[in-house]
Each structure stands twice: as C-alpha cells, then as structure tokens.
Structure 1
Amino acid sequence: MNTLRGKCRGTSLLVLGLSLILSSACSEEVRLTVEPSSLSFEATEGDYSEPAPKLLTGQLLNLGEDQRVFLSLVHTNNGLQRVEAPLTNPSPIKVYPKQPTRGGDTHQDVVVIAACEDADCKHHFPGSPATIPVTYSIKGRLRIDNGIPHDRTFHQVVGDVPPPAVPIELQGFERSWKAETNQKWLKLSASSGQTPATLMLSVEPNTLPEGTHLADVFISDAETLQTWPVHVRLTKSLPYLQVAGEELRFADKVDGVHPRRQLFVTMPVATASPWTATIDHGDGPRWLKLSAMAGTTQPNPTAPLEAFVDETDLPPGEYRATVTFTATVEGQTLTQVRQAELRHHLNQLRVNRYGVALMRTPSRSRLSESIPILEGSGSKTTTWTASANQDWLSVTPRGTTGSNLTLTANPAGLAPDIVHVATVTVRSLETVNEHTLQVGFWVGASDAVNPVTVPSVFRAVEVDPIRPYAYVHDGATLFVHNLYTGARVATLDGLGTASGGLGLGGMAVSSDGSVLYVVDGDARQVVPIRLSTLTPGTRWGLDTGTSQNLTYVRPSGVGLLIAGDGHIYDADTGARLPTSSPFAARDTLSASLNPYTFCTLGACTQDSCGPSRCYFLGFFSHDDLSVIPHEELSADATAVAVNPSGTRIYVASGPPYEFQVLNRGPEGPLPSLHAGAPPNGLVIDVDERVYGSAYTRTGPADVWIYDRDGAALGTLRLGNSTAGIRDGQLKVSGDGRRLVALTEDSLKIVSTP
C-alpha cells in the first residue's frame, strides 16, 4: 500500500489518455478515475518478443492539501507479465503482456487500482477500486516441420514398386494454407487445407530415367501469403543382381562326397525378375552342376540354389569353372559372376582324431577306443593298414574307408604310475597317404584322488589329449599336475618376457598331444613347448589385437592354430596363412575334433558384446584357406563348444540360463539344457558328454552334466562361497574320466560320472 499527499490548487485541466477531465474545486470530494476502461493486446504465436506495453492513466480528483491517500495496484498474470506505476498524480500506468504462447489462446486478466482513506482500505474514495479488464489474444502462425522445413528424399530401384509416401507436418492454430509443386512426378495429397494437417508427398518415377531428379513443394499461408519451399530429391538407380552364399571351392570330402555349396540369387526389388545361369568349363570336363539353371529373383529367398560336383568319369586333377548369372529388368541386363574351383585327388584317408588317451586304475578303466577311418577325397573305397610301435597296444591291422580302427591296451607287465606312449601309423595301400596317431596309457597303482585341490590363484588351464596332465599357469610360471594323483609333475619358469604386464595368456594343445602352445601376452608371441620333454621351442609372433586365445585344428593332417587376433597360423612354423575371407578377432575360440568347424565369441564391453558365430574351415593348402561363416550365435552367448563330429554346437547363454543345442547333422533336435546360474564354460568329452559350468558362489551346483542325448547325468559343486569358477576355465581329460576347473582360489580336479 502506497500513500500520496495532495494539495488543492483550484480548477485544473488534466489529460488522461485521450480523454479530457475537468477537476472541480477543493470543496468537491476526492474521486479516483482510470482511463481507458479496458485494454486489449494481440500477438502471433512464435513471436520472439512480447507486444509493446500499453498505458492506463489514473488520477485522484479534488485531492485536498495535506490529505493522505492510501493506494494499491494489483493484477492477475494469466497473460500479463507486470504492471508499473509511479507515485505521481496523475499516474501513467504501464501494462506489460507476456511473450505469446500457443495460437488460439486468449488470456483474460484484470488490473485493480484502489485509493483508500485508511491503510486497511476499509474506506474507499469514490471510483475505487477501479477494475480494468485486459484481453490478450494470440493468433496462430503456419509452421512447417515445427518451424524448420527440411528436405525430403526418395530412392527408387528400377523395376521395384515406388517408394512410400513421406509426410510434411503443418502446424499452427486454424491457419489456412496452400501447396503446389513444380514437377509432375511429385504428387501432393492435397493442395489446400487448414492446420493442423499432414501433407503427404509421393512420387511417380516410372517415366523418369536413371539419375537424380529435383523438385520443390511451395507451401504458403493463405492470409499472409508467406511461402516456404521444401526441397525434394529423387534418386533412381539400377538394381544389382546378387549371388550370396558359400564360396564355390571344393577340396576335402566329408563322408566320401564333396559337400554341396548353397547359393541365393537375390535382387533388392519387390518385383520378381527371371534369371538364368551358364557354366563355362573352358576345355576341361563338365564337373560343376547347379540344382537349377534358371529361376526368379526374390528379395529374401529361403530355398537355396545348390552347386555340386559331378564325379562321373572325372580324372584326378585341379579344375576351374566360371558361373555367370544374368537377369533383365526393364530392358537393362544385369550380370553376376562366381568362380569355382575343384581339387579332385586320388583316394586319400581322413582321420579326425590324432590323439587317444587310455587308462586303468583298480576300480576304473578305459582300455579300448575305436576311431573311424574316413574317405578324404576320391569316390572309391580305399584299403588301409595300421600298425603300432609298442607291444602293449594292439590295433586293427587292415580295413577299408568307412570302417573303424580299434585300439586296445594291455596293462600286463607295464610299470605303474607312469604314462606309456605308443605311435600308430595308418597307411593307404593305393596312394602315398599316411597318418600318425599318438596313444597315451596311464596305469595307476591306486584309484584317483578325488577331489584334488591345488590352492593358488591361477589364470588359465589346459589338458593333454593323451596324457593325464593339466597345464596351468599363474601368468608367470607354468605348472604340470597329474590328473589322477594331483602331484606336481614339472615347473617351467621364464616363459614370459616381462614381469608384470599381461604375462602368460591363453593356451592350446595339439590334437596328438605333441605340443603345448602358450601365449606370451607382453611379447605378443606364442611359445611352443614339446610335451614329450617339456622343453620350449622357437617362439613366433602374433599379429595385432589384444585377444590372447588360441585353438588348434588339424584339417587334412596339417596342424593349424586359430588365434584370437583373427588370423590362422601354421602350428609348426608360426607362419601366418592367407585366408579367402577374414574373421574378426574374438575373446573365445572353440573347435571340433572334426577340423571343419570352429566357433568364436565376440569380445564384450560393459555395454554390449560383439557378434558370435561359427565357421566352416576349408583347407586347400598352406596358401589357400577358406573361412566361411555359417551359424550366427545368440547375442548373449558366454561359452561355446562343438561336439567331436562337428554336428552339434552347444551355446551357453541367458537369461534364461541354459545351454542351447544347435543341430547340424542327422541327429534329432535336442531341447536346451538347464543351467542353474549364469553359465560361463562348456566342454565335451570323447563320449560326447556335455559339461557346463557357471559362476556362482551360492547354490548346490556350479557344474551340470548331460549325455549326448540330453539326459541329465548329475551336478557338481567345485566353487565355494568365496571363489567361483573362472570364465572359460572348465576342461575334461582326454580319456573323459577327470574334470578340471580353475576357481578364483585353486585348481580343482574331480572324477566324472
């Protein structure tokens, strides 16, 4: 409440707004007048500033000398920002509106001016309080794309349906608009209307040639005539004929035949187009066939086109062919060419297992093993012979491809508690083709210690495929432990090149048990260790990358190391081998005894994991390797294992926590196998029993065991309340009798069911 003292000076002429007010003599009573009696404002939505203020004039008439007046000025603020008035008589009162809001809004406010005889304003002078209504109207404004019009683009492939229409959003309160284009191929869903509205743009490109075409849409406000352009670009291109699928490279046979290669003839257009194929063999025999020589393109075909080898009267040799696919779309001829290669050799043997572990203790034994001798290439049955260099091992002396080589150990007269090793040689009688197998035989004087616990913090463990040995390191020193007694057999120091740092990393063992490969992470080198003498050999370097994992495969009897750096190396020399297609570096690697399949798991960060998949490995020679992706794994995969024949892939994943089973062979499908906690390890033994581990410090089990048909065989608890099983550190012995795991505080060895 403000006060104002006045003094009567007789009659005076006062200007109030546009009105003339004549004051009376001092004898008249005091009166409050405010002019004008109302105010109104107008603005348009989207204006960056509020409208200019407007003026009210308030005056106290007949104010006597030394007469005290108590003044009050209040207002509502629906659309008003503030009201300002000086303590003068008369008083210019400025009324300020707010910045405009939405179009169509009308704000109603009042300005109330009071003149009173007392501070509590119980006694008003005549004319008080004066209430002045204020109206604030906001008109709509035409807006396009929320005020920032942006370009529209269309892409159409010749022969395909026109691209879908795209919208232009027109906003604003009840604004009338008009729209037009400057090209006939650009169509509008409407030429006029009232906001809010969605104007759809579509194109009719069939009569246009290939290339880029430009147009504009002009949208105007029907009242203000303000116009906005929207630029439109249409790109019309030829389709491309794509022949996706596997490489047409045929070398080793699987079960006596060259595997068929699957192709998919596609074109990224909805309209189907006919295609034809031709095969050019040059002057050579017509060895390559397709399951169809003509067809119709589809954007996403499901039925593959198969390429296969016709061996009828085909002599041994190396052959090439060119396959040309042709399609015609609106008079345009499209082609795609695929090259095919065949290496058709004389009959050769194929052996999938090069190492065998046998054992005998007082209560348990594994004295015999049968290994299929398969057809490596050629179409005829091949006769083979086998012999062993130790009398305690008997072998099937003769057979034909498709039959088994049976190995049987006789413990009579053999010294106990040592590993006996024999070499078995398998030869073809028709070609110069020979395979060498290593057989280890443990004769224990007493039963296995169960369980074995070796307290220490280890990083990685690997097992020998023919000896009952576990190779384990702590990042600096490699230790060798007997799986049946738990005794430390040997200690190897000095394998790493630096103290601290990365230290020793991943390990892999050759399938015949001859060499252990250890990664020196600091030097980015592989250290080969000859296991018959436990002596390190010549180091060789890895390529770039941070993954330290290795896995060993042996296609066509040639040892290869697949490394986590995304490359394949000769296991004997360390030479990096060229591949027909690279695979990305991975944190986890797993391969089958069948050397044609290996799998990788993507490296994980805190937010996500890289892709995980399995590959076919085609081995032509050291200069010619083929790596073909064939199975995408689930994004949450944490471990993977392939059965010995390569026909089933087991994938640990979750939640839900389980071991998925992917079938690729004649066996029937299996449901997922249960895991009671987040799984982190998978391993399969020679009898195709599946062992899956999980990291958990609670619960009754952290290992689940299943047979090859998915039946549960039992569970184990290897970790404890303070130490769980480390990721990927679950292994099984070559004879399938002992299970090995690294926990966070020890090496654990137990007997299998």
Structure 2
Amino acid sequence: WSASSGAAWLKATPASGSGSGTLSAVFDPAGLAVGEYSTTLTVLASDGQSATLTATLSVQPSGLVTANGVVFNAVNGAPIATQVIPLDTDDKSSASWSAVANAPWLRISPTSGKTPATAVLTVDPTVGALASASYNSSVTLSATGLPARELPVTLNLTPATLSASVNSITLGGTYGRDFSATPSVTLSLNTSTNSWPWTLGTLPAWASATVASGSVNQAGSKTAFKALPIGAPVGASSALVNATARVNGDQVVAPVLLNINRDRHKLLPSETGVALSGSPGWTRLSRTLTVQDNYGSFGGMSAASSQPWLVAGVSGNKLTVTADPTPLGTDTLNIATVTLTPLDADASAPEPIRVAMWKGTHTPVTNVSTVLTYNHVITDPIRPYAYVHNGGAYVDIYNLYSGQKAGSITGLGASLGDMTTSANGDYLFLLNLSSRTLATIDLNTLAVVSQLPVDADAATRLKVIRPNGVEMLVLSTGAAYLTSNGGRLTLPLSGGGPLAASADGKNLLQQQENSATVQITTLSVDYSALNGGTLYPARIAAASHANTGTLGQDIAVSPDGTRIYTASSTPKLCSILNPVDLGVLGYLAAGDGTPNNVKLGSDGRIYCGAAVKTATSDVWMYDTSGKLLNQFKLAGSGKQLLPRQLAVSGDGTILIGITDDGVATIVPVGP
C-alpha cells in the first residue's frame, strides 16, 4: 500500500508499506495564511482497494505563551520568594516583548526582551504598607504584532505573630519584699531576618522597663522589668501591658501580664521590749538594738523617746537606748516608749519599743524563796517581775529585785495552764483550762481584756513570735492567733511539746516532750500583708527529725537563729545543735543531773538547768562561746528543778525557778 495527501501541508508517515501498520498524519503550517484548510489523505492498496480520510487545519494568528497565573502565599513582613515565568510565542517564532506590572507591590524583571525568555516576578508588601489580606493584580505582556496578554497574580498575606517568651511576670517575690530581681521577656516575630519596629504600651506606675522600643525579628528582642514599689499599693496588683509591632499595614500584639506583690514597708527592731535596771551593786542602763528594713533597703531613721530620762540614739541601723536614773525615784518602775521614724517616705515603723527602768535601793546577793507554792513561772520582758501560779485561779507577781510579792491577778478561772507575755511586755497570755479559753491580761492595768475560746489542755505550750513584725501567739497544737485582733491561723505542728523561736520569729521550733526519742520540728514562718494578710509557714525537712537523746524537756534558740539549745534526759548535757540539719555542734555540761531546762538571757548568756537532788549546783551559766561562767544552786536539799520552770529576768541579771516541792527560788546572777 501507499499513502498520499491532497495538500502540501499534510504528510503521511510512512508514505508506503505492506500488511497491517500504523499511519501518522503530520501537519506543517509553514507558509500558510491565517484561515481554514481542508484536504484528504488517501491510502491505496496494491489490489486496487483504497481508503480516504478527511483532514482539516485551522491556522490562528500567532501569540505569546506563558504561565496561566501566579500565586504568592506569605507571612506579612517575612521574606517572600520570587517566582520565574517563561515567555515564548506559540509558533516558536522570535518576538520582541514588553511587560508592565499593574500594582505598586508587584514587579517584573526584566521588563522587555525577545522570546524565548524568562522573567522574575517579585512582590513587596512594604510598598503601600499592605495589611494582611488577599490582593489580586496582573502583568500585561505585549509583543510586536501580537495580541497583548494578561498574567493574573495573587498575593495572599497572613499576619505575622509577635510572641513573648513568658506571658506573665511577677515582681516583689513571694512575700512582696524582694524587688532586686529584674525578670526579662524576649519578644520574637516570625518574619525571619526581616526586622520591624516594636513599642511597649503604657507601664503601671509601679514598674519600669529597661527597653521600651526597638526592632524585632525571629532572633528576638529582650527587655527587662524592674519594680518601683513606692508606686504600688500594699497587696497584689496586676496590669496587662501590650508589646506592639508594626508590620507593614498590620499591628501585631503580644500581651504580658505584669504582677507586683507589695508588702507593707517596715522597719523592724530586733526587740520591742527592753529591761534596764540600776541598783547600788550593779546597773544595766543601756541596750543596743538592730533595726532591719523588711525590704532590705534600709534608708535611715530617727528615734524619739517619750520620757526625758531615756535617750534614744541612732547610728546607722543601730538603736541605742540609754537611761539616766538620776531624776527617778528610788524603788520605782518607769516605762518609756521609743518611736522610730523611717526616712524612707513609704516606710513605717509600726512596732513601738517599750523600755522599762527599775531603780532600786537593794541589790540581791542571796537566794530568796517563796512561802507559797507554784508550778508555773515566766518573767516579764521589761519589768523586774516574775509571774507564777499553782494551777489555781490567780497569778502572783514577784519583784525579782526585792524578792517580795508585788501583786496578784485574780478572777481568772479555776484551773490555769501555760502562760507567756507579748514581746513588748504589754500583755500576759494565759490558758484558762477550766473554761478552755485564752485570757489576755493588760500588764499595765492587770485587767483581763479578752477571753478567746481555744482547744487546749494542760500539755499545751505557748510561744509569742513576731515574723515580719506581726505578733502572733502560737500554741503547741499548731493553732495560732494574731495578738492584734485574735485572727485564727494554723501552723504545721503536731505532737505537742515546748516551742522556741529566733528573735525575728522566722524560725520556729518544737521539741516533743518526754518521748522516747527527741523529735524536733523546724518551721520557717513569715507573714505578709498580701491578700489582706497571709501566713507563710513551711516545714524544713532537713531540720525536722529525731535527734540524739531521749525524753526531751526544753528547747531554746539564739536570737539570730544560728544555734539551737536543747535539754533532754539523755545525754546528761545540754546540747548545741545546728539549725540547718540538727547536727550536734557541742554540749554544755550539767553535772550529773538530768537536764530539763535551757534558757537564754537578754545578754546572750545560756543557762542549763538540771534535775539533781544531791549536787551543789543545778544551774550552769555559759557565755555564747560555750565557756562556763558560773554555776548556781537553786533547789533545796532533796529537791530538784521542775522541767521548763526556770526563767531569766528581762535585764538578764536574775533567775527564778520552781522545784518539785512548789517553792519558787530567786537567784541573783549579776550582770
């Protein structure tokens, strides 16, 4: 067979063959004018048979060929990759072309040339500062002698994200007193290496920022916040601050919640009650106290005394009170109040310091024993008085210098328990076991001013502490009460036993009483004005466990909290412990007796008392280094000191103790 075409523009391939096969028809429009063409393709076999096929060709005008459309998807403000488009004519003939982008944000390069070619499309949202949205435009393509063509271009912009490394920052610390920290926040913007300006919104009056504006990209930009506590009210405050970045036509925001805890700014004296004394044999006319700023930023102070016989002198954060007994009457008790005034405008000194001066004509030199019998004794922190009772309905008051009974507090109930005083000596707190109440007695008037219901019994012990200058009465059961208003608090104490505390009240210890092992519990205690007043107690595990010895009897803590002193039946020594882990630092000898009392004087001297009937001494006095200074005999023949019934006068010069026959004995130890 053979194949033939009726027109030169149509060719058969192959043109001949034999048997079955495949025939291709190929057109060649070269030289043809625009128009419609028709012809036939005939296949003739050698046996005379034939087949005819009809072919048509439409010749169109020549034009440019390129992409159907271009779409850009991008984060506004981030780098946007270019896109390349091809340019040619449909008949592959070379033509001169030009291109025009139809939006300010759209560019094409190059803008002219000859086909075949490629061109690069670029979008730039900074032109016109585009906000995030979808934008449609085009590029007009033209060629000489050919119709123009529109290339659609779409730009889809999504907003950038400004992120903060933290969503919330708290200034002032847990208790609202630590303003040294400057916590930071890092802002980042997901625009890769492209940077954009950012600003920080209006800050509250109680905070400042190290950097309030700048530029930011993915690498981040940091700013730090500092507390300005004087601008904050007492309590907890919050403010939402927005960091804003302007990205082309968008504003993107990262909110940061600023919080500040602010406790009341106070000056806190190391003691609020001071006992001074003067007699022919010895005097203690001056005491120096340390005043702390609870913010840790002491700004100075002044001090004033309410009485002319007492001078209050200030040197840095030291307050020295000095009495001049010359104008005072003999055998008289005189009380003055020292008021501190902070130089910091936002600070206060809410605790007045009560100072008592005893001017006596008699210096005790020998022991004096009471005729009446008792089983409880404490001393006044400022007056030369001891308060004693026998579990009955009254409390007797003894002047430790004269050895005489100075008065009684009556009408208290049928059965009395433990007692203690306020830190400044204004009040006596006493458990009334018959009515299960806590009585508060004004020691200036000896009148009962309140009766608070409590869950207590004969084994309940009392201790007054003043963490952060807030006085509270702690019961060995774990209950506690604000002495200012009777507000109930709770401490994680259990097991009962005597209590001891550092002078600032922030270290509170309890020793189990008469147990087979000496179990000590140590608490850190703080109190802040946050949330209307909040107690922060925490058990210190490393210093809360069984310790050496058996049958714990008494416990004391040095004013600075660096030493713990315990008295227990074994070992037959008073122990000195490390408050960090209760490790033994040393011992204080107590003869061959069974230690059952350990007390500290206001001058730092340490007294270890023991139950011993036959020895010549039952109280040993040591200095702060553990050196034995003296020893005393308090109990009469065949009698012994009762557990926890030894006390030191407020001026540190006289002891009083009760023995198992109920006799209270006053022992002068001197300054």
Could you say if the C-alpha distance between residues 546 and 416 of structure 1 is closer, same or farther in structure 2, counting changes exceeding 3 Å? closer
Per the alignment, do residues 427 and 718 of structure 1 end up closer, same or farther by CA in structure 2, a change over 3 Å counting?
A: same
Separation of aligned partners in 1, 2:450 and 2:236: 38
Shift of the 680–669 alpha-carbon distance from structure 1 to 2, 3 Å rule, reads closer
Cα distance, 1:373–1:480 mapped onto 2, change above 3 Å: same
Match for residue 91 of structure 2?
A: none
| Corresponding position: 1:661 with 2:573 | no
CA 1:345–1:521 in 2, change beyond 3 Å: closer, same or farther? closer
Q: Which residue of 148, 160, 175 maps to 1:250?
A: 175
Aligned residue pair count:
426
Aligned residues of 2:364 and 2:401 also touching (Cα < 8 A):
yes
- Contact preservation (8 Å) 1:359, 1:365: yes
Q: 2:274 maps to which residue?
A: 356
2:528 is equivalent to residue 620 of structure 1? yes
* Alignment CA distance shift 1:626-1:313 (3 Å): closer
What displacement does 1:623 show?
Answer: 4.2
Q: 1:452 aligns with which of 358, 368, 372?
A: 368
State the shift of 1:632 in Å. Answer: 2.5
Q: What's the counterpart of residue 245 of structure 2?
A: none
Question: Which residue of 390, 400, 408 corresponds with 2:322?
Answer: 408
1:343 aligned residue: 261
Q: Partners of 2:456 and 2:390 in 1: how far apart?
A: 24
2:526 pairs with 1:526: no
Task: Tell me whether 1:479 sits opposite 2:407 in the alignment.
Answer: no
Name the structure 2 match of 1:245.
Answer: none
Match of 2:512 in 1: 602
Matched, 1:541 2:453: yes
State the Cα deviation string for residues 384-427 of structure 1 (Å, max 9, x = none): 1110110000111x554xx2111000011210101110010001
Deviation at 1:286, TM superposition (A): 12
Q: CA RMSD in A?
A: 3.1
**Residue type of the partner of 1:688?**
G
Name the SS of the counterpart of 1:611 in structure 2: strand
1:353, distance to aligned residue in structure 2 (A)? 0.3
Pair 1:701–1:490, CA change in 2 (3 A): same
Q: For residues 305-364 of structure 1, give each alpha carbon's deviation from its aligned partner in whole angstroms, at most 9, with x where no partner exists.
A: xxxxx995564656699xxxxxxxxxxxxxxxxxxx973457531212000000011110
**Of 374, 395, 418, which aligns to 2:312?**
395
Note the residue ranges of structure 1 that are not aligned, 5 or more in a row: 1-247, 259-282, 288-309, 322-340
Asked whether the equivalents of residues 418 and 458 of structure 2 are also in contact (C-alpha less than 8 Å), the reply is no
CA distance in 1, matches of 2:386, 2:176: 36
Q: Aligned AA for 1:683?
A: K
Please name the residue that 1:130 is paired with.
none
Per-residue deviation, 1:493 = 2.4
Alignment of 1:433 with 2:337, yes or no, is no
Post-superposition offset of 1:444? 0.7
Distance in 1, matches of 2:488 and 2:494, equals: 15
Find the counterpart in structure 1 of residue 246 from structure 2: none
Q: Which residue of 1 aligns with 2:603?
A: 687
**Equivalent of residue 365 in structure 1, options 283, 306, 329:** 283
Structure 2 contact 493–521 (Cα < 8 Å) conserved: no
Partner of 2:642: helix, strand, or coil? strand
Offset of residue 610 of structure 1: 7.5
What code does the residue aligned with 2:524 have?
F
Question: Which segment drifts farther, 629-638 or 481-490?
Answer: 629-638
Cα deviations by residue, 1:431-473 (Å, 9 ceiling, x for unpaired): 2402300000000112225211113321100100110000000
The CA deviation string for residues 503-562 of structure 1, in whole angstroms up to 9 with x for no partner, is 101000111010011111121111111111111112111136663321111223322100
Task: Tell which has more relative contact order, 1 or 2 (C-alpha 8 A, sep 6+).
Answer: 2
Show the 5 A alignment for 1:689-728.
Answer: 689-728=605-644
Partner of residue 425 from structure 2, selected from 494, 506, 513: 513
Q: How far apart are the structure 1 equivalents of 2:608 and 2:648?
A: 11
C-alpha distance 505-347 of structure 1, shift in aligned 2 (>3 A):
closer
Identity %: 30
Structure 2 CA distance for aligned equivalents of residues 720 and 419 of structure 1: 31
1:749 aligns with 2:666: yes
Find the aligned partners of 2:660 and 2:459 in 1 and give their Cα distance: 21
Alpha-carbon separation, structure 2, partners of 1:362 and 1:663: 40
Shift of the alpha carbon at 1:619? 0.8
Residue of structure 2 in register with 1:424 after alignment:
338
Is 2:294 the partner of 1:376? yes
Asked whether the equivalents of residues 525 and 542 of structure 1 are also in contact (C-alpha less than 8 Å), the reply is yes
User: Is the counterpart of residue 648 in structure 1 residue 556 in structure 2?
Assistant: no
Distance 2:469 2:507 in 1: 15
Question: In the alignment, what sits opposite 1:591?
Answer: 501
- Equivalents in 2 of 1:704, 1:375: separation in Å? 37
Tell which deviates more after alignment, 564-573 or 721-730: 564-573
Per-residue deviation, 1:285: 8.0
Residues 640/734 of structure 1: CA separation in 2 closer, same or farther (3 Å cut)? same
- Hey, what's the Cα distance between the residues in 1 that align with 2:610 and 2:225? 49
Partner Cα distance (1:311, 1:555) in 2: 29
The worse-fitting range, judged by mean Cα deviation, of 676-685 and 444-453 is: 444-453
Q: What is the 5 A alignment of 1:71-110?
A: none
Match of 2:384 among 463, 468, 473: 468
Classify 1:749/1:661 alpha carbon distance in 2 versus 1 (closer, same or farther; 3 Å).
same
Q: Distance in 2 between matches of 1:729 and 1:587?
A: 14
Distance 1:472 1:440, change over 3 A: same
In the alignment, what sits opposite 2:122?
none
Code of the residue aligned with 1:723 in structure 2: it is K
What SS does the aligned partner of 1:537 have? Answer: strand
Taking structure 1 as reference, are residues 585 and 529 closer, same or farther at Cα in structure 2, changes over 3 Å only? farther
The aligned amino acid for 2:590 is A
Partner letter of residue 366 of structure 1?
R
- The residue type paired with residue 486 of structure 1 is G
> Cα–Cα, structure 1 residues 311 and 593, in superposed 2: closer, same or farther, change >3 Å?
farther
Distance 2:537 2:648 in 1: 28
Structure 1 counterpart SS, 2:596 = strand
State how 1:74-473 maps to structure 2 within 5 Å: 249-251=174-176, 313=227, 315=229, 343-345=261-263, 347-377=265-295, 379-396=296-313, 398-400=314-316, 403-429=317-343, 430-434=345-349, 435-448=351-364, 450-473=366-389
Amino acid at match of 1:488: K
- Would you say the 8 A contact 2:433–2:456 is kept in 1? no
Structure (1 or 2) with the larger CA radius of gyration:
2
Is 1:494 matched with 2:416?
no
Contact 1:617 / 1:627 at 8 angstroms: preserved in 2? Answer: yes
Q: 2-side partners of 1:436 and 1:347: how far apart?
A: 15
Distance of aligned partners of 1:383 and 1:470 in 2 relative to their CA distance in 1, 3 Å threshold: same
Question: 2:502 and 2:460 mapped to 1: Cα distance?
Answer: 20
Q: Is the 8 A contact 1:352 1:595 kept in 2?
A: no
Match of 1:740 among 649, 656, 665: 656
TM-score (norm 2): 0.59
Match of 1:554 among 455, 466, 469: 466
